[in-house]
A and B are shown apart, each in its own frame.
Chain A
Amino acid sequence: MKFKKKRASVKQDIPTASLPDIVFMLLLFFMVATQLREVDVLVQFSLPEAEFIEKIENKRLVSYVWVGRDERIQINDSIVRQEEIRDIMYRKRVELPNVIVSFRVDKNANMGVVTDIQQELRKADARRINYSSLLKR
């Protein structure tokens, strides 16, 4: 006896012509969202935790200042001395008038170094700051 396979007589193709378009769309999104140049963080730090934190919507405006647990200060890619902060920040502010300076400070650092940086920022007139912290659970 011969068995006949039941098979629909209509075509069974999934149209893949638009697949590249969809993929390209996704690709474009990730290309735009990617920033390749990540800064090497040279200082060791662990962020403090806080409850009432806000998000910074505009990542483009953010410029980071790291302070490690040994109280070294890093801006951009290098460790800087305290006297250099003002010039660097002033230049940043000229490029980006409403720059937000985000402090990534180790939670056991002393306030002295933070106060000094803040004073320098005030002199450079880069006055919008943010104390980077994680959400407390």
Chain B
Amino acid sequence: MSTRLSKGGRLIDRAKRLNFTFNGKPMQGFAGDTLASALLGAGQVMLGRSFKYHRPRGIVASGVEEPNALVGLGRNARFEPDQRTTTTELFEGAETRSQNHWPNLDYDIGEINDAFYKFLPAGFYYKTFMAPQAAWKHLFEPIIRKSAGLGGVPKEADPDRYEQAYAYCDVLVVGGGVAGLAAALREGRAGKRVWLIEQTAHWGGRTPVDGGQIDGFEACDWIKTTLQELEGMANVTLRTRLMAAGQHDHGYVIGLESVGDTRPGADIPRHRLWRIRAGRTITATGAIERPLAFAANDVPGVMLASAVRDYVVNWAVSPGDRTVIVTNNDDAYRTALVLLDAGLTVPAIIDAREATHGALPQEVKARGVRVLEGRGVARVLGRKQVKGVEICAQAGEGGAIETIECDCVAMSGGWSPVVHLWSHCGGKLIWDAGQAMFRPDPERPPLGADGTAMVQAVGAANGDLTLAATMGGAGLGACSSDEAPMTPVWQMPASAPVALRFKSFLDFQNDVKVSDVQLAAREGFESVEHTKRYTTLGMATDQGKLSNINGLAVLSDALGQPIPATGTTTFRPPYTPISFGAITGEAKGALFQPLRRTPIQSWHEAHHAHWEPVGQWRRPYCYPKSGETHREAVNREITNTRANVGLLDASTLGKIVVKGPDAGRFLDMLYTNMMSTLPVGKCRYGLMCNENGFLMDDGVVARLSDDSWLCHTTSGGADHIHGWMEDWLQCEWWDWKVYTANLTEQFAQIAVVGPKARELLNRLGGIDVSREALPFMQWIEGRLGGFDARIFRISFSGELSYEIAVPASQGLALWEKLVTEGKDLGVMPYGTEALHVMRAEKGFIMIGDETDGTVIPQDLGLTWAISKKKTDFLGKRAQQRPHMTDPNRWKLVGLETLDGSVIPDGSYAPAEGHNANGQRNTQGRVTSTYYSPTIGKGIAMGLVLNGPDRMGEVIEFTGEGEARIKARITDPVFYDKDGEKQNV
């Protein structure tokens, strides 16, 4: 059983005890512990159940590669599943729960899956549950979802906050081990702007555990002095708890910083996502030890050899009293020395190699430890905890030679460099047969924008596994014990029969065994990418950090080809999981996206506006009074505007000034009608089409002076139209003398609409707005009741109407003045829905309702707004193509329901027969449909086949379900056809 040792532990502070719970049971650890070290220290070896077979599982590793020891952390809104105990720092009050079992960890119904392992091989889902079809969704999937899978899903919104930050550097060094420190020191001394980031809370990597000398100093002293020098450099930024998740093109690196994980509820960000632009990245990301594939290598207590010594040295935790070490290399002997130094027992070292001569084995032998050469582990005994190992000949079929009692097994199958960042942008790997690993190929690095290497790998990440090799690469002298060559072992024993292979796990997190990969190969999966997906090898949250190389070695063996011919699967970011919160950053709640506010927005809010999103604006849809439905409010607003006077906040309307000697010519190209001939002081409605002829925007253009025009655009289209103008000016007609400015936000614009509008403006005084002084479709400038106003006499409602533009800073004051002055005239604000209904009553089109990107002005009966004189305008040629001139294009008409009801939005008019796909033919569709309080019934506009030729004809539209609504085809203008009201 694991326990806390009475002395040692370089990372823990025994003076600071921290309380936490596991499955509700109170436990204690120390400051500096990880959850894993604290749990082991408290004697908790079994931490969860496996994904598929529900086998008991415990801690395997001591870092990011941990596949098993995941827990649910926290509770309620701060609950988070699948937290890796080996990288989660312990904090006071941490609540942890084991995963994937029912009813509890010790007794789990799902464990029955393990007994039926023969029936749950790779590709099980693909082969089973094929019929009947409906059963998958309703029977099989619900059961499997309940039985498989890891942690639960949090059910409440995340209360924590997250943020992002951008950083720049010449050189980003990833990994704070000795290789990274040496690289940062070199670059820092060279005056480079350096960032050195380390995913854990500590500097030095593995070296403080494994020991050695650097540059004539004890490694720990060298680390300390190097850090001091780096800290003193103004050009070097050091950061711990910052994991580089991905290396992207153009030196873009994403990193995740843990800021507040150990202080839940504190008023600080939980995570911070760093977006780093690095001139060059140096990956000093180290290497990860590989497990060995022997039967029952997943029983709690079987751990990586390096992890075993990490727990002893770093946290003073003994994973077991008696640890059997099984290895194919010299490095694992370091574990024996650490265990012996801690006073623990090493009954034997099982070395798969036929002979051992290295310095480390000699040292271990000299201390009286049995070293069994040419031997392997046949199987591990025990279920919830290691009880012993059966020893066999590595070359054989697993016949037990002897059984050794132990409560921990430390395994080492060699090391794999962490090549993720190197590989993300296309860095290639070479197979190093001597060390049985893929390592970065210096000849084929990922290339930056300038064609040179963007990433450089150093230290163990570069395949320099020993301290001497690592520091030699950095130009520093170092010494550590010499290591004799390792021997690759992909299966233990070499000729293990199927019964053993069925229990020899490759991927612990997804329960993939040697037998599964071999089955995939037999079934024809030759590509490693296909095998990965078929068996799910390496597809769990650990992304196969422990399993990939072993898995593809087994696959290569099954396919009878060398490992390099099989290759690796693709390394993709993120290196370890990053939180959705960090990806979201500040963009949640009120900051989810920008909400554009007009100068009058606060008034609308104070008057209980019901909102409608328009682009990124939020405009009042209507202003319901207490007890009023939205529909009733809209009807009231319309009726009042048509009878008295209404106010509309039209500030969102696009307002673009176009000025210059060629401005008239330019606008003649942009609009379908003629704008160059518009006299100064007058307004003209215009249409804009894209180069394909489709109607894109509309609005009133006012000529301000000889060489300047003001173009009003739709609210949602202002930015696009401004960009469209600049595009043509900068890219196509760059020699035309035209300047534009988007003044949309400079002005608040208020529409004063209704028969009493003139009287209201007269009360403000200062500008003569009589019919004579300001006729329809003209504009005037001056001081209106003390406001700097430009008044446009234009109407989108059919009523007497003025649109008053004032500087935005004066907008709210003018609005309030109009409300006060117009009180006895019955002034009321109206919203966008009243605007829509009133324009529909007048038969005015709305971009986005009558148009959808496939409609040309000719479809809408707007030929009057298309110049026949102009030789060209954008869209002209396209509108002459056969499809555009087809007489069978649907055309705009008005629609009046016979029963007075409102046709549902989006209704189609069915026609006789069916098309080739068996769908009902159609002959038209509704584009706008409203209840008109003015007419007293439902009105609509729609596009109908030969519509204008079918006036008076009654056709049917689809209603709810199978219902049909009869509507008469009419002129689209329902109200004041002659325009007398707007022209008073």
Q: Do A and B bind each other?
A: no
Q: Which residues of A contact B (CB under 8 A)?
A: none
